[in-house]
Amino acid sequence: MRDGVALATDVYRPGGSEPLPAILQRTPYDKEGAALRNYSFEVMRAVQAGYVCVVQDVRGRFLSEGDFDPFFDEGPDGADTIAWVAAQPWCSGVVGMAGGSYFGATQWRAAGEVPEALKAMVPFVTAADYHEGWTYQGGAFELGFNLHWTLGFLAVGEVVRRLGAGQDAMAELGALVQAVDDNDALYERLPLTDMPVLDELAPYYRAWLDHPAYDDYWRAIAPKERHAQVTVPALNIGGWYDLFLGGTIANYLGMKEQGATEAARRPHLVIGPWAHGDSFGWYAGRSYGFASNYLAIDPTALHVRWFDRHLKDMDNGLDDEPPVRLFVMGIDEWRDEQDWPLPDTAFTPYYLHSGGHANTASGDGTLSTEAPGAEPHDTYLYDPRDPVPTTGGATFLPGLFVAANAGPRDQRLIDGRADVLTFVTPPLEHDVEVTGPIELVLHASSSARDTDFTGKLVDVAPDGRAELLTDGILRARYRESMSEPRPLEPGEVYELRIDLWATANVFKAGHRIRLDVSSSNFPRFDRNTNTGGTIATEGPEALVEAVNRVFHDHEHPSHVVLPIIDRS
């Protein structure tokens, strides 16, 4: 690298002396492990297709020198590596990049440096911003993912690295093994900063908690801040239940609108019914069929075809195909589309109506396209000592790899809670397709200086099964800006806009569209203490209850905006 640090790098190439295009993967998970043995991009198949594949341990991981600080070095290190690869006698001078999750982060960070030899990339299941949609969402800390990822993947790798270098790291190993085993219990620990096992092995975890707002710390490394500089086309692949779905879509839109070249402004987008690390479309109680499976769509073939077009300049018909391919749940079919959002989308408000509180005389509230009139508000008590438990969705929690708590889990598991408001349509008379971005607009107040509001879009079958489709959260202090938090005035009604990301689902005739509103989703997101203070440093004694109210009348028309697609 430019500062003299050496990064361990393996090269896989076909026999013969002809220089070939190269595909680079950069990983924090061991270049001899995760990069080679995965179904998303098979290195040996790419070599057989006529590419040199280069796999590298990023700075400070496994066999590479230096110190690991997630995201920060991946731009310059990626650019330096691309230049080195392009200059080798076995490379034709053009380079592509591949890989998902953190591999995807290394792609976007390198592309933002505008390396001359980089000509194409395939970032999948990755983010556009390492604050919103990676470390935080809607201002809430993504505790479930970040603690599990840091303990079980990053800190473990650091101990392995130290032991491999002959360092005495047995004490750290013992403490880490105990912490990994106690991961679920550690979610309950307060303050969030009280995680001594990570202070030495992963000090960046504390840095993430020290920067809850979108400030210069995050702005310096956000791919979305450099979309206008990126010159290469990107094939973006994501999942409806992937924790980076929002970033996958944001990268597609950002490049289409801001890319620095015509090729860059022609990205492609593929989204299946997948969760992060589990891309088979099979969940507890719900299977989307073999057609939804990663193995069925053959992602390595998608990669090779993309690189054939952009690294080998093959006329393989890719330019003439629709740029968007989506798996539509409910009917469980793949569809090709011309853009995102779909050009014929009818963004339709579905309004909340009285009775959402489980203990009201009228029972569940209703959801309809009819605007509200004079209606009473709904009230519930949010107690951070008893948060709503995470039940499915875009999670990455212990047990993920058997889809234990990810995807379309049945929301009846948490029905009956007094702190969850439920609004449903009558049974549908005909199929209703909802494909596109979804926003929840709440008119709400709180007794607290700060609190959270959550929303879930749910498909209710005639037999009562309530499948979660997508959800979101907003920490109310960030209602105006993720950079400049402002406390609430207790009792004042605010308009809050909650990003529920997106879905593609056909609500079949006889099904009902359901919306759940609450103030917690734990441990996926950390609990709001309701004090308005610095949540990460507050202990259990700081937790206070909040009386939260949701208004839905003529002056306060709370609603969820659904992207309706009329195929007729």
Annotation marks residue 242 as catalytic: yes
CA distances from 540 to 206, 365, 518, 531 (A): 19, 34, 21, 12
Closest C-alpha among 322, 361, 398, 314 to residue 119: 314
Are the C-beta atoms of residues 525 and 146 closer than 8 Å to each other? no
H/E stretch holding 310 reads helix 299-310
What is the distance between the alpha carbons of residues 367 and 516, in angstroms, rounded to a whole number?
Answer: 11
Residue 2 lies in a domain: no
What DSSP letter does each residue of 58-127 carry, written as one string? PTTSTT--S---TTTTHHHHHHHHHHHHHTSTTEEEEEEEEEETHHHHHHHHHHTT--TTEEEEEEES--
Q: Are both 158 and 204 inside the same structural domain?
A: yes
Q: Let me know whether 290 and 261 are in one domain.
A: yes
352, 448: one domain: yes
CA distance 40 to 413: 33
Judged on CB neighbours under 10 Å (0-12, 13-18, 19+), 313 is: exposed
3 Cβ neighbours under 8 A, 6+ residues apart = none
Asked whether the beta carbons of 446 and 475 are under 8 A apart, the reply is: no
User: How far apart (Å, rounded) are the C-alpha atoms in residues 73 and 102?
Assistant: 13
The CA distance from 8 to 51, in Å, is: 20
Report if residue 513 sits inside a domain. yes
Q: Are residues 440 and 353 in the same domain?
A: yes
Last residue of a domain, one of 190, 211, 232: 211
Question: pLDDT truncated to tens, each residue of the chain (568 aa)?
Answer: 999 999 999 999 999 889 999 999 999 999 988 667 677 899 999 999 999 999 999 999 999 999 999 999 999 999 999 999 999 999 999 999 999 999 999 999 999 999 999 999 999 999 999 999 999 999 999 999 999 999 999 999 999 899 888 888 888 889 999 999 999 999 999 999 999 999 999 999 999 999 999 999 999 999 999 999 999 999 999 999 999 999 999 999 999 999 999 999 999 999 999 999 877 788 888 999 988 887 788 999 999 999 999 999 999 999 999 999 999 999 999 999 999 999 999 999 999 998 655 443 334 799 999 999 999 999 999 999 999 999 999 999 987 554 568 999 999 999 999 999 999 999 999 999 999 999 999 999 999 999 999 999 999 999 999 999 999 999 999 999 999 999 999 999 999 999 999 999 999 999 999 999 999 999 999 999 999 999 999 999 999 999 999 999 999 999 999 999 999 8
55/202 same-domain check: no
Q: For the domain that residue 463 is a member of, what is the CATH number?
A: 2.60.120.260
Start-to-end C-alpha separation, the chain: 57
Structural domain boundaries enclosing 433:
345-565
Q: What is the structure's pLDDT at 277?
A: 81
**Which residue type sits at 439?**
E
* Contact by Cβ (8 Å): 364, 423: yes
Q: Please tell me the predicted confidence (pLDDT) of residue 44.
A: 93
127 and 149 share one domain = no
Task: Determine the pLDDT at residue 368.
Answer: 97
236 located within any domain: yes
Within this chain, do residues 440 and 307 fall inside the same structural domain, yes or no? Answer: no
| Distance (Å, whole) CA 30 – CA 28 | 6
Q: Note whether 109 and 247 are same-domain residues.
A: yes
Phi first, then psi: give them for residue 282, nearest 5 degrees: -120, 120
Nearest to 66 by CA among 55, 76, 53, 54: 76
Nearest to 512 by CA among 440, 451, 452, 431: 431
How far CA 158 is from CA of 8, 60, 140, 287, 464, in Å, comes to 15, 8, 27, 37, 47
Closest CA to 519 of 411, 436, 444, 439: 444
Residue 1 counted as domain residue: no
* Annotated catalytic residue, options 40, 64, 101, 292: 101
CATH number for the domain including 63?
A: 3.40.50.1820
Q: Is 148 a catalytic residue?
A: no
Is 420 found in the same domain as 404? yes
Residue 518 designated active-site: no
Chosen domain end from 292, 317, 337: 337
pLDDT of residue 284: 81
Same-domain pairing of 177 and 86: no
User: For residue 380, what are its two tokens?
Assistant: 């519930």
Asked if residue 4 is part of any domain, the answer here is no
Q: Is residue 507 part of a domain?
A: yes
Looking at 295, 310, 337, which one is the last position of a domain?
Answer: 337
Same domain for 531 and 398: yes
Q: Under a CB-based contact definition with an 8 Å cutoff, are residues 401 and 459 in contact?
A: no
Two tokens at 242? 């992937």
Cβ neighbour number for residue 399 with a 10 Å cutoff: 13
Total number of domains constituting the chain: 3
- Catalytic residue of the set 131, 148, 268, 276: 276
Q: How many CB atoms neighbour CB 439 within 10 A?
A: 18
Evaluate the omega torsion of the peptide bond into residue 299 and state whether it is cis, within 30 degrees of 0. no
Q: What are the φ and ψ backbone dihedral angles of 89, each rounded to 5 degrees?
A: -65, -20
* Catalytic residue (one of 30, 73, 129, 242): 242
**77 lies in the same domain as 187:** no
pTM: 0.96
Answer whether residue 3 is part of any domain.
Answer: no
Question: Domain for residue 333, yes or no?
Answer: yes
